[in-house]
Each structure stands twice: as structure tokens, then as C-alpha cells.
Amino acid sequence: MAAQTKVAVIYYSATGTTYQLAQAVCEAAGDAGAEVRLRKVRELAPDEAIRSNSGWHAHQLETQDVPEA
């Protein structure tokens, strides 16, 4: 029996564009039979910078449950 392919998709996205691409990669890998894990890198920008950009802040809230790598 062959071992299942495992794929980790690790991304950084400030406003969500790269996040959408990462989700597409996860979907394609899953459709191909891989075991997939989606992880984001830790945000290094200060909170005040994130809050100053509505798109950045909204994306941070939207992806708060995505585990960090």
C-alpha cells in the first residue's frame, strides 16, 4: 500500500489575495488525493499598522483561526 502524499501550504497574505491562491492550491491537492494542511506565517507588522488599513485588518480577522506555521 502506497503512503498518502502530504502537502503543507504555508503562505503570507496581508489583504487576502495570496490567501485565496493558497486555498486554491489546497483544494487542488486535496482533489488529487493528498492530505493537506494550510498554515500562515506569523504576522510581524505592528497592530497599529494593520488597523490603519481596513483590508488588512479585515483579512486578519477573517483568518484568525488559520494555524500558524
Q: What is the pLDDT of residue 1?
A: 62
Counting every residue written for the chain, the total comes to 69
What is the overall mean pLDDT for the chain?
Answer: 96
d(CA 36, CA 40): 13
Closest CA to 58 of 5, 24, 13, 23: 13
What is the SS3 string spanning 17-67?
Answer: HHHHHHHHHHHHHHHCCCEEEEEECCCCCCHHHHHCCHHHHHHHHHCCCCC
pLDDT, tens digit (0-9, with 9 covering 90-100), for 8-48 = 999 999 999 999 999 999 999 999 999 999 999 999 999 99
Listed by start position, the domains of the chain span 6-59
